[in-house]
Structure 1
C-alpha cells in the first residue's frame, strides 16, 4: 500500500484550467471639439467588432455625444448622472445601468456636470472612480477606446496621459490651424509627462475631412508621427454621419478605409512625438492664412486714454547729478 501511495504521489498533476486573458490595448483619442472624434471612434469601434475583436468605447466628453452615432442618435445614460440618481435612491449602480451594446461594440458615456454647475475635469475623475468600482480592471477586452476633448487643458482631461492609464494616444485633426494647434498641445502634454517618467506615447494622426491641402500631413511629419488614416471630405460621408449612419462597415464603400485604420491603430507603436513651437506650427500654413504678414504695433498710454487725452505736468522732483 505504501508503494502504491508513493507511486500515486509521483504522478504530476494536470495543470489547472485557466481562462486565457487578453492584453488589452487602451487607446485615448484626443482632438479639437467638433473635429470628428465621435464619428471616427464610432466607425472604428464598429469595424474592430466586425473583425471579431472585443471593443469597449468610453465617451469622456461632457457633451456625451461619443456614442450617439453608434446608437443612431439615441442618448446613452451617463455614468455620472446615473450614479447620482442611484445614490439618492439608496441603490448601487450596476454595469447594466450604464453599458450598452450594438453589433459587438460595448459603449458607455462618463458624462459631466450641468453647464455652470461643476468642473468637467473632476467629472472625468469621478467617472473613472466609478468605473473602478464596477470592476473595470477585471474586464476582458481587446481594445478600450477613450474619447477626450483635446482643447480643454485641465487635469481631468489629461488623466490617461498623466497616470499612464493608456498605452498610446491618437490625435484627430484636419487641415486647419486650430485643430492642429490642439493636436500639437496633446503632443506637448505627452512629451511633458514622458519627461516625468510616463510611458504613454503618440501612435499617430487621423486626418478627418481631408481636402488634400496637406497641412495635417506636414504636421505629422514635423512632429514625427504617422498618419493612420486620411478620411476624405466627401459628401457621402458627411450626409450619412449627419443621419447617424455607420459608414465603417466591412461591406460598405468606406469599409476598406476603416479596416486599414483599425489595423494601423492596433499596430502603431507609441512614439515620442516632438511638439512644434508656435512659429513652427504657423510655418505649416501660408502667411495669409495665419496672419504672418501682420506686425504687432505696441499701444501707447495716449491710445488707452482716447483722443481727448491731455498730458498732466509731472510733480516728480528731479535732482541734478551731484
Structure 2
C-alpha cells in the first residue's frame, strides 16, 4: 500500500481529482500531514484517512486552492447577481448558497452588493458552506489583509470595513448577513432538509472534481436549486453542466445559467415499455383415462438362470463308488 491508496481515498471520500491540483501537490500535502501526525508509513496514514473525518478535512484544507478576493470576477457580475436576488425577494426572503465559500470573500461581496441596493437583512438569506473548518474560522472572523482587495475599481474599505491592526474587519451588520457552516457538496446528504435556493454560486470547484463526484454534485443542485433559479459558475466550467438543464442567462462570460428542466444533474431514468400480453382463450381441461400401472416383467436372477452354472466334475460320484456303497454288506456266518 503506497501513496496510490491515499490518492484513492481522496477521490472516493473527498471527491477531488488530485491530478487537477498540480504535480506532486498531493504528495507534498500527504507528507506534511504524515509528519504532523508522527507517521512514516503511507499505509497507516491512508487507514487513518478512511477512519477519521477530521483528518480528511485537514487534508482537504491543505489541498484546496484558496485563491479568492472581494468581488472576484468584477463588480458588474455581483451587481447582476444582486439584481436577480432583489427581484426574487418578493414576500419571502430570497435564498442564496455559496459553495465553496473559502474564507468568505465571495458571500460577503454579494452581501455588500445587496446592501447597496437597499435590501435589509430580512430580505435575503446567504448560506456559505465549505469543507475546511480552518477557512470557515477565518471567514467568521471577517478580517482580511490588503491582498484581498486587489480587484480593480473603487476602494470599498472605508465604507464597509474598519481597520484593525494591519487588517480590515467587515462591519457587524454585513457579517450577520451570512451564515457559515461546514459541508461537502459531493455528499448525497448535503444540506438535507434545507429549502430550495434561488441562487447558487459554485465557482472554481467543478474543475477539481472527479466525474463521479461531479454527478453527485449536480444531483444536489437538482434538489437544492429552485425552479427557474440561477447557477453561477466560471466560464471554464460551463461545459460540465448538462445543456438540457441549464441555459445561459446573459453573456456566457458571466457564467450565470438559468435552470430550465424539471430535474438537474442526473438525467431521468427511462424504463422500456412493457409489451402487452396477448389475450388467450381458455381451453377446457381434458381428463385422461385411468390406465393401470404396468409392472415390469419378473427378471430371473443371473445365478438362477439355467445353464449359467455347471456342476464341476469333481462334485460327481464315480459309478464304482455308488455301486460299492449300494451293495449289501456280506453277512458273517454265526455259530
- TM-score normalized by the length of structure 2: 0.29
Could you say which structure has the greater relative contact order, defined with CA pairs below 8 angstroms and 6 or more residues apart? 1
TM-score, normalising length from structure 1?
Answer: 0.30
Indicate the structure (1 or 2) with the bigger Cα radius of gyration. Answer: 2
